[in-house]
């Protein structure tokens, strides 16, 4: 994925530094294509690949929204627990002073 971030690249160029067959690399590429993370364009016999960042951007947006929701929920829970601790400590002090 990182090698594709620089622009379109031939599948043979992408496969070259790996100690895998071109067929094995193609299988990996097909998985990424099914996930819509890559686009393949054929020019004659060459297969050119490019990164499709949209699914990653969508996932990042969803994660940020979830982070905001859960941060708010956890902050609320923390406040409630601190209030409860303070009330319990206050009740405990009142009982001891009697």
Residue-wise pLDDT for 44-56, tens only, equals: 999 999 999 999 9
Q: What is the pLDDT of residue 5?
A: 85
What span, in angstroms and rounded, lies between the C-alpha atoms of 42 and 25?
17
Q: Is the pTM of this model over 0.85?
A: no
Q: What is the pLDDT of residue 92?
A: 82
Architecture of domain 3-52: Orthogonal Bundle (1.10)
Q: What is the pLDDT of residue 66?
A: 98
Between the two ends of the chain, the Cα-to-Cα distance in Å is 69
Give the list of residues 6+ apart from residue 56 with CB closer than 8 angstroms, or none. Answer: 37
Q: What is the pLDDT of residue 33?
A: 95
Q: For the chain, which residues make up each domain, given as ranges? A: 3-52, 53-98
Question: Which residues in the chain show pLDDT less than 50?
Answer: none
């Amino acid at each position: 994925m990182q090698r594709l971030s620089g622009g379109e690249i031939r599948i043979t160029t992408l496969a070259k530094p790996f100690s895998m067959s071109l067929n094995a690399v193609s299988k990996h590429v097909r998985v990424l294509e099914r996930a819509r993370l890559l686009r393949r364009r054929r020019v004659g016999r060459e297969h050119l690949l490019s990164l499709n960042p949209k699914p990653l951007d969508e996932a990042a947006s969803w994660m940020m929204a979830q982070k905001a929701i859960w941060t708010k929920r956890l902050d609320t829970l923390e406040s409630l627990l601190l209030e409860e601790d303070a009330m319990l400590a206050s009740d405990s002090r009142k009982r001891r002073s009697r």
